[in-house]
Amino acid sequence: MSHPLLERHRPLLDQALATIATRGYWSAFAESPSPKAYGEEAPEAGRAAFEAHLGKAFELDQPGQCGWHTDETSPYGVALDVRYPVCDPQALVAAAQAAMPAWQALGAEGRVGICLEVLQRLNRQSFEIAHAVMMTSGQGWMMAFQAGGPHAQDRGLEAVAYAWREMSFIPAQATWEKPQGKHPALVMQKHYEIVGRGVGVVIGCATFPTWNTYPGLFAALATGNPVLLKPHSNVVLPAAITVRTIRAVLAENGLDPNLVALCLPPDRKAAQALYTHPEVRSIDYTGSNTFGQWLIDHCRQAQVYAELAGVNSIVIDSTDDYQGMLRNLAFTLSLYSGQMCTTSQALVVPAGGIETDEGHKSFEQLGEDLAGAIDKFLSKPEVAQAVLGAIQSDDTLARIDAAGSGAMGRVVLAPRSLEYAEFPRARVRTPALLACEADEAGHYAQEQFGPISFLVRARDTDAALALVEDLTRRHGALTLAVYSSREAVIEAATRVSWRAAVALSINLTGGVFVNQSAAFSDFHGTGGNPAANASYADSAFVANRFRVVQRRRHP
């Protein structure tokens, strides 16, 4: 019943299963891009593999090809010039469906074994993928390596572990024997088949092309579904590399590689026809509310797992480590120029200021000190470049300009352009910090994606808590933080987090940041507020991706 690849990777799976139950620290894949973890050759080989893609056609041998996609751009201003196959989505769906029965017949053991093998292969490609993620998303190198490589692989493995756990509860067969008093028992032999729902479409985003893609990709695959991976049209290479690796592993194992394909529809109409295709039964999506809501409204034939925009908040009531808090916030607001769905946007502060280990700080003083902390943190160019990365989209650039102009609130810290010697055309911006009143919701109560944060003045801490609860319930959030040296406030914030269904970080003053989420331990999104209808990862993320079809007969 088992599968050689499952046997080979069984220890990895077992450790993942143990960790999702105990939720302590564990990472399956080394997050350090060190030769010790990846081998002396890996950095150079990865760079060479990345560079070998540039200026070329990325051949995938997929059905229905009708052109080439060439829209990719780099926030670092580097010419990529990779051409990707544009295929008729209907042909991809048909081919995916044709590949599905053999994938079903492989059983949970075989499917999970293949997924684990794919993850191992992807891990060995971490340097290549890191360059691809960095150059397309604009992430700094270290984040591109970690979030694009091992952390994304960890989230993929996590999804596989959840899928395995749920599927492993389904016995292949059972003997049902019902006593009938003096008469012979009624006996039925029953079989239970795990059947995927049908073609899954996984729609990637421009900022985390692997981290936000792998959970849905591997959850859908492991549970018996083909997957069409539709990357953001400007950020294709990480997805293309991933798809090629999966197709290679499938072919090596005698499976139809068309089970997984890169999907770049020729136009908007073809894309919409794909998403509403009756055989597309699941859609995983990360991105804007507008399009996410379109998917939810129109793709009624599919389960839609959506991570949308939100407004992440912090309530700052008090602290006994003022400098630690400022340093922590400065890093959070700077990292990848705030282009994370987990970055805090609304920092809500009592009008009367806050008590700290350095005495009372007024609302204005806090703003000044936080601005100073950000400036100081980014004062060394090499730190700034490594942390900020580049701005992914024109829309974000425009928002930063608007923030700097004062149109969105009083400017506490103006955003600046930075030069980047290695990439002279890179578009790099430092964070904008604005201040406004609680009743100026027009400024802060919608997602301002990018390095734009607001110090929001609330009447007092109770009002601040009520404000963030309302914000989160109405607009959604993936993260909430509180700083307080009063347990009663932390308790109140905890109750807010329950009612608004948002993960809470308390008094982060060290090396953990509110926008970070660790696979196997932290749930990313709760699925319980408007920012996301699903979580990475939990049982609900996998359990409805397959169905069980039974048959019974007398023996």
Binding site residues, its own copies, CB under 8 A: 20-25, 104, 165-166, 169, 171, 174-180, 186, 188, 190, 192-193, 195, 197, 296, 300, 490, 494, 497-498, 501-512, 518, 521-523, 526-528, 535, 538-540, 543-544, 547-554
Alpha carbon of residue 195 to chain centroid: 26
**Could you tell me the smallest distance in angstroms from the CB atom of residue 44 to its own copies?**
24
Helix 141-148 / helix 150-168 crossing angle, nearest 10 deg: 10
**Could you tell me the smallest distance in angstroms from the CB atom of residue 490 to its own copies?**
8
- 485 near 358, Cβ under 8 Å? no
Q: Which of 76/520 has CB closer to its own copies?
A: 520
Q: Which of 21/48 has CB closer to its own copies?
A: 21
- How many angstroms separate the Cα of 72 from the Cα of each of 135, 137, 231, 394? 10, 10, 11, 14
Q: Which of 119/501 has CB closer to its own copies?
A: 501
Q: Which of 303/365 has CB closer to its own copies?
A: 303
Residues contacting 50, CB < 8 A, separation 6+: 127, 128, 131, 132, 135
Residue type, 504: L
Q: Which of 24/372 has CB closer to its own copies?
A: 24
**Could you tell me the smallest distance in angstroms from the CB atom of residue 458 to its own copies?**
21
**Could you tell me the smallest distance in angstroms from the CB atom of residue 521 to its own copies?**
5
Reduced to 3 states, what is the DSSP secondary structure of residue 168? helix
**Could you tell me the smallest distance in angstroms from the CB atom of residue 223 to its own copies?**
11
Q: Which of 215/409 has CB closer to its own copies?
A: 215
Nearest 5°: the CA angle 387, 511, 414 is 40
Q: Which of 451/528 has CB closer to its own copies?
A: 528
**Could you tell me the smallest distance in angstroms from the CB atom of residue 273 to its own copies?**
20
Reduced to 3 states, what is the DSSP secondary structure of residue 447? coil
**Could you tell me the smallest distance in angstroms from the CB atom of residue 186 to its own copies?**
5
**Could you tell me the smallest distance in angstroms from the CB atom of residue 192 to its own copies?**
7
Which spans in 191-320 are helix H? 214-222, 237-252, 268-275, 289-298
Q: Which of 162/211 has CB closer to its own copies?
A: 162
Q: Which of 416/473 has CB closer to its own copies?
A: 473
Q: Which of 404/525 has CB closer to its own copies?
A: 525
**Could you tell me the smallest distance in angstroms from the CB atom of residue 551 to its own copies?**
4
**Could you tell me the smallest distance in angstroms from the CB atom of residue 372 to its own copies?**
24
Element (H, E) at 87: strand 84-87
**Could you tell me the smallest distance in angstroms from the CB atom of residue 263 to its own copies?**
23
Q: Which is nearest to 200 in space by CA: 231, 225, 163?
A: 225
**Could you tell me the smallest distance in angstroms from the CB atom of residue 296 to its own copies?**
8
Q: Which of 6/20 has CB closer to its own copies?
A: 20
Q: Which is nearest to 524 in space by CA: 543, 507, 510, 505?
A: 505
Ranges of beta strands (E only) in 271-427 are 280-286, 303-307, 313-316, 346-350, 354-356, 359-361, 410-413, 417-418
Q: Which is nearest to 253 in space by CA: 159, 154, 121?
A: 121
Q: Which is nearest to 6 in space by CA: 119, 120, 109?
A: 109
- 486 near 317, Cβ under 8 Å? yes
DSSP output for 306-332:
EE-----EEEE-B-S-HHHHHHHHHHH
Q: Which is nearest to 458 in space by CA: 314, 383, 349, 374?
A: 349
**Could you tell me the smallest distance in angstroms from the CB atom of residue 501 to its own copies?**
5
Give dist(CA 332, CA 380) in Å, integer.
17
Q: Which of 329/508 has CB closer to its own copies?
A: 508
- 428 near 388, Cβ under 8 Å? yes
CA dihedral 130, 136, 141, 145 (to 10 degrees): -30
Token readout for 50 is 């990345």
Q: Which of 25/379 has CB closer to its own copies?
A: 25
- 212 near 204, Cβ under 8 Å? yes
- 233 near 301, Cβ under 8 Å? no
